[in-house]
Chain A
Amino acid sequence: MNRSSRFIFSALCFGFAFLYLPILMLILLSFNDSSIATVWGGFSLRWYSALLNNEQIINAALLSLKIAAVSATFATILGTMAGLALTQMGRYRGRLIFTGLIAAPLVMPEVITGLSLLLLFVSLQELIGWPLSRGASTITIAHITFSMAYVAVIVQSRLASMDQSMEEAAMDLGGRPMQVAFDITLPLIAPSMLSGWLLAFTLSLDDLVIASFTSGAGASTLPMVIFSKIKLGVTPDINALATLIIGTVSIGIIIASWIMFRQSKRNEVG
């Protein structure tokens, strides 16, 4: 190994250490027998079993999963429709503005998104009496609004790279527009929709800020519970919980990137 490549290698190691050492630390400490979260006291799975007996956390986790699944599904439907409208409908007036507007939530600070949604829900309640109280449904709606933008961008980029003549060929062969959509367009963008869904799911699972703004009494998502517990001091069961979340999210990301990889390989020839 010569000098420059040794430098590059150590830079790489340092970079990865910077990124992953805290996470590894957390995973390691989740197997800690000691009840002080930061002191090592031997290997144990006791915090995992403690976690299973903690009803508050189990309920919060179930609520989070439910919200994530529902919001990801709706975000995928709406985001796909937005992506289709932005690429398939030709060059209509204001298309560029719409493209910009759909991407804006990606860079919008979460605090602002959360605050604006809270204001919306409050004024809606005064105007039409809905929602009666804030909770799971308002969190879901809030999550749909911001994760839909991610799905739209993913689907849109897939559609833009897709050979337009594919759909024309289907139409040329006798496919009515709706048939073409179901025979050709949807199967071709299905992988992007799936990875969009997975992304929306993880975003919703992760979110603390927007959920805190839009939630009411009684509906606490997992990140909210963790955050409130941390205020009272870090307990080792939180480490166990965090390890489980990391595992779930990593699996999701691995599946999503595998789908993207396969799709890009197919695009090379298709």
Chain B
Amino acid sequence: MISKNITQTKQPVTPYVPETLWLDPEAKPFIQIKGLSKKFDDFTAVDDISLDIYKGELFTILGGSGCGKSTLLRMLAGFEMPNAGQIIIDDVDMAGIPAYDRPINMMFQSYAVFPHMTVAQNVAYGLKKERVAKPEITRRVSEMLELVQLSNLAKRKPQQLSGGQRQRVALARALIKRPKVLLLDEPLAALDKKLREQTQFELMNLQYELGITFVVVTHDQEEAMTLSTRLAVMDQGRFVQTGTPTQVYESPKNRFVADFFGTINLFDATVISCQPNEDSASYNIKAKLDKTGTMVKAVAESLLSPASAITIGVRPEKIKISHERPEGDNLTIAKGVVEDLAYYGNRSIYRVRSESGRVIQVSAQNYQRSEQLSLEWDDQAYLSWDASCNVVLTE
């Protein structure tokens, strides 16, 4: 809905930056974070973080509570001063530049809409502080309110608005100064599910149209997955993995990322053999699952010595569940009993206890229209997945 409005009211923005700028070794990062650290007394909130973010990106920092993501965002905004390291935005070192002089605006988790001002006054605040001429303020405010579809509520006070409307006020207020970077602290956390999905798409469209670099902080992995061009998974003040959502989801770097970012079945295994692949720098390995002795094939990124312990991970949606034993090469097959079943309409989640006694989670699309589930509690079922779905985790 928002994007339609933009195309009507705005001239085409600067040519859109290719979405994969980070792959280009020549490209110049727009935000450079170098060796950034922040300590509170004895507690290290952010521990030597370095990161490049490119112009027009929607970069998400994902982590649980207390992982340091908010501190990192607050350092970007200028509310916290780092103990070490550097933040460079568009070639300007941010050290010593106070929050009110940075070309950055932030949308707060609580939205922090000023309760004693109307919607229009809230949105105009940033321009007033910039000493923009009155007629221009009026024009830009009404333009911005149009953009976030609040024109008819301009004279309302925040306490007369719904949560979603207040979120739009906060967004409009942060965008009106045309910042180089927009920081969003848990932008969707306070909204209910339906509104969240809608707002999510609106945010993405807005970001795409305006070409402003967004840095989002969230604890919600689904939000991170759908919003971002790239994301970083953060734990204990450090980045565990940085990459596109598909990279991080399909090739998690270690057990923590695999488990935190989505759901995954993890199997302890021992390497039997490891051979380099001819055409790429990867290695074909054969491994034995410790519990069942099942042989599996997988692809590893590094050379692993035989007998070394690894973990094989399989995402629930990669596993097929069936009554009959499936046929095919390269398949890993397990037999079990449906112990638990959750029906979501579009898909079902099965928890199957395999013969070895462990529970494997399977997510299956409900292809057929039927009021009778093909598999019920206590049914015998075969689980199978292709060897290419095996993720090799060494940490």
Q: Using a CB–CB distance below 8 Å, which chain A residues touch chain B?
A: 163, 165-166, 168-176, 179, 183-184, 187-188, 265-266, 268-270
Contact = CB atoms under 8 A, between A and B. Distances in A.
B77 interface: yes
Interface residues of B, number: 28
B130 interface: yes
A172 B115 contact: no
B108 A175 contact: no
B112 A163 contact: yes
B158 interface: yes
A166 B166 CA distance: 13
B173 interface: yes
B100 A169 contact: no
B139 interface: no
23 contacts: A165-B108, A165-B109, A165-B110, A166-B114, A168-B79, A168-B108, A169-B114, A170-B114, A171-B100, A172-B78, A172-B100, A172-B106, A173-B173, A174-B130, A175-B100, A187-B116, A188-B116, A266-B115, A268-B159, A269-B115, A269-B158, A270-B115, A270-B158
Contacts of A168: 77, 79, 99, 106, 108, 112
Interface of B: 77-79, 98-101, 104-106, 108-110, 112-116, 125-126, 129-130, 158-159, 170, 173-174, 177
Contacts of A268: 159
A253 to B, nearest CB: 25
Given A165-B110, A270-B158, A174 B126 contact: yes
Nearest to B166: A269
Contact of A175 (B106, B110, B129, B173): B129
Contacts, number: 71
Contact of A174 (B100, B113, B115): B100
Nearest 7 pairs between A and B by C-beta? A270-B115, A174-B129, A173-B126, A169-B112, A269-B159, A165-B112, A165-B108
Contacts of B78: 172
A188 B112 CA distance: 13
Given A165-B108, A168-B79, A176 B115 contact: no
Contact of A183 (B109, B125, B177): B125
Contacts of A269: 115, 158-159
Given A187-B116, A188-B115, A269-B115, A171 B99 contact: yes
Nearest to A176: B100
Contact of A184 (B99, B100, B101, B114): B114
Q: Which of B77, B100, B108, B110 has the most CB of A within 10 A?
A: B100
Contacts of B106: 168-169, 172
Contacts of B110: 163, 165
A166 B170 CA distance: 11
Contacts of A184: 114
A171 B113 CA distance: 13
Contacts of B100: 171-176
Contacts of B159: 265-266, 268-270
B158 A173 contact: no
A56 to B, nearest CB: 46
